[in-house]
Structures are given as structure tokens and as C-alpha cells.
A and B are shown apart, each in its own frame.
Chain A
Amino acid sequence: GNSVTQMEGPVTLSEEAFLTINCTYTATGYPSLFWYVQYPGEGLQLLLKATKADDKGSNKGFEATYRKETTSFHLEKGSVQVSDSAVYFCALSNDYKLSFGAGTTVTVRA
């Protein structure tokens, strides 16, 4: 079956630091890969996605590249802001269902 493993948190960073959240997956076929973000008090929001190998998804300064050879989809941002404090979820889908990782809590301090 499908599964997603992501870096355990919590992660605490200073503003302008570099952020990486590791995500690896197990899936049949060629899934689409996603990062969702949950800001405090809000619902899950799609941050970025990639639908095939070597695709790079990007949004709001975040990037992730679909690496089929390492079954990974690591999230990166070069310079975080306090407003990036949130819970980040890696997810995959072969069809209509999403399979999520456990989430990584990121706190950015001024």
C-alpha cells in the first residue's frame, strides 16, 4: 500500500534560516506528490505539487522536486519568515485518495 514518512518535528528556526523537511514515500505505480500546510487555526491548504518524476513544485518561496530514484519529495525554503510557522504535511495520491505523512511542526522565531 501507499505510505509517506516525513521528518519528525518539531523544528524551530530563526528568521531567514534555511528550511528542509524530508519526505520519502512508498507507492505502487507513479503517484502525484503534494505538500499541504496548516497554519494555526486554519484548514489544510495545498502548498505545492508535482505529478511526475523530476517535476519541481514551487509556491511562496517553497520548492520540492519529485525524485523517483530516491522516492523522495523534500520541501525546502531558502529564507523562512515568522509567517511560515505552521504544520507541513507531505502526501501522495495514485487516484482520488490522499495518503498523508504525520506532519512536521515548524516554528520560526524573530
Chain B
Amino acid sequence: GAGVSQSPRYKVAKRGQDVALRCDPISGHVSLFWYQQALGQGPEFLTYFQNEAQLDKSGLPSDRFFAERPEGSVSTLKIQRTQQEDSAVYLCASSVGGASYGYTFGSGTRLTVV
């Protein structure tokens, strides 16, 4: 597609519920990133994939967060047993290489845990 597509655009989850957020990167982009953006803050790095390999997951806040990209294209960020502090916008970005090439970001998924 022309850009990075994320779905759903908005998600309301009850505390304790599991959620799955989807990202469709630009075709041919080998690098895929997930970021978390709290209200009024800049995005914070969560995890990085190069093709299907998850090369860095150091930013995942807890073991309730899990990301995958099994075929090197679409990626899913899963959050188990959601907590209120998980409420944020989750951004996906893709790139042909590293940050110096510039990322293309999706519009994000706004997760609200009630």
C-alpha cells in the first residue's frame, strides 16, 4: 500500500482483557518498529524487527507485551491482561533500513483501558 496501515484506529478494552493491534507496513520495507506514545509525550521505542526477526525488544514494558512478524510483513502487537497504564497511542513505523533513512509512521491505534 501507499502507507503504513494500522488497525483498529481506536480500541477500548476492559482491564484484564487481551488486545491485538495490527500493522501493515509499506511493501518491501524490511524494518518495522513499534512505539508507545503516552498523552502529551513523545513516542517511546518498544521493539524492532528486521524482516521476521525481532532484533530488539528492550522497550517492551513487561512480559504482558508481545510482538510478532511471522512472515516479515504484517506485524501484531499483543497486550495480555491490559492495565490502565497501558492506555496510550501505539505507533507502527517501517523503513527500508535504519533511522537515517527516515521512518514512515502509521496513524496509530489509540488504546484506552477502562
Binding site for B on A (CB under 8 A): 4, 32, 34, 36, 41-46, 49, 51, 89, 91, 93, 95-103
Question: Knowing A102-B41, A102-B42 touch, does A97 contact B48 (C-beta < 8 A)?
Answer: yes
Complex-state Cα separation, A93 to B102, whole angstroms: 10
In the complex, the answer to whether B99 meets A103 with C-beta atoms within 8 Å is no
B99 and A32 contact, CB distance less than 8 A: yes
Task: Pick from B3, B43, B56: contact of A100, CB below 8 A.
Answer: B43
Asked if B40 lies at the interface with its beta carbon under 8 angstroms from chain A, I say yes
Tell me, in angstroms, the Cα distance from A70 to B75 when the chains sit together. 39
Residues of A within 8 A of B99 (CB): 32, 34, 93, 95-98
The distance in angstroms between the C-alpha atoms of A72 and B105, with both chains bound, is: 25
Counting contact residues on chain B (CB < 8 A from A), the size range is: 20 to 34
Q: Which B residues are CB-close (under 8 A) to A42?
A: 107
- For A4, give the chain B residue with the smallest CB separation: B42
Chain B residues near A (Cβ < 8 Å): 3-4, 31, 33, 35, 40-45, 48, 56, 91, 93, 98-100, 102-108
State which of A45, A102, A103 has its C-beta within 8 Å of the C-beta of B105.
A45
Nearest CB of chain B from residue A102's CB, rounded to whole Å: 5
B56 contacts which chain A residues (CB < 8 A)? 96-97
Bound: A45/B104 CA distance, A:
7
Q: A43-B4, A44-B43 are in contact. List 9 more A-B contacts (CB 8 A).
A: A34-B102, A43-B106, A44-B105, A51-B100, A89-B43, A95-B99, A97-B99, A98-B45, A98-B99
CA distance A22 to B78 in the complex (A): 36
The docked-state distance in angstroms from the alpha carbon of A87 to that of B91 is 15
Distance, CA A57 to CA B24, complexed state (A): 29
Is the beta-carbon distance between B107 and A96 smaller than 8 angstroms? no
Jot down 26 A-B pairs with beta carbons below 8 A, ordered by A. Answer: A4-B42, A36-B105, A41-B107, A42-B107, A43-B91, A43-B106, A43-B107, A43-B108, A44-B43, A44-B91, A44-B105, A46-B103, A49-B102, A89-B42, A89-B43, A91-B42, A93-B99, A96-B48, A96-B98, A98-B45, A98-B99, A100-B44, A101-B42, A102-B42, A103-B41, A103-B42
